[in-house]
Amino acid sequence: MPYLRPYDVFEYLPPEADRLSVTRTARLEDYLIQEGDILQTCSGRNLGPVTIADSYLTQSALSHDMIRIRVEDLSDRYYLLAFLRSRAGQHLLALHDLECVDPGVQLAGVDQGSARCSG
């Protein structure tokens, strides 16, 4: 299965960085993405750029250094994506990098690498 690194998803039709064995990769499902997933880069405590998964990206496995946010409602999904890409959203993400937000606040599912929102 093709494997992508976090920053590969920002390229147009990214080439695979490597390949994973479907039969020998433990917990392969943790590396899979779904069309419509909002993908937020994270490295350590840093949050970076955000994008949305299309059908091309779903053909690959993706590093655990990318948060997958699943929002069922289409309008809410694109609203959240627009906000995270906005100047205000990027500013809030930068504040998180500086640990200016409460580190004790957690969303359900974040510790598993994904968060789900439903309207």
What is the residue whose two structure tokens read 């499902």? Answer: 29
Domain that holds residue 87: 2-102
Question: Given a cut of 90, is residue 45 above it in pLDDT?
Answer: no
Does some domain include residue 10? yes
Cβ pair 62, 14 in contact under 8 A: no
Does some domain include residue 116? no
Which pLDDT value is given to residue 96?
A: 57
pTM for the model stands at: 0.74
Does some domain include residue 109? no
Please give the tally of structural domains in the chain. Answer: 1
Residues 71-107: tens digit of each pLDDT: 999 999 999 999 999 988 888 777 655 443 444 444 4
Distance (Å) of CA 105 to CA 58, 85, 108, 110, 111: 30, 22, 10, 11, 12
Question: Given a cut of 70, is residue 112 above it in pLDDT?
Answer: no
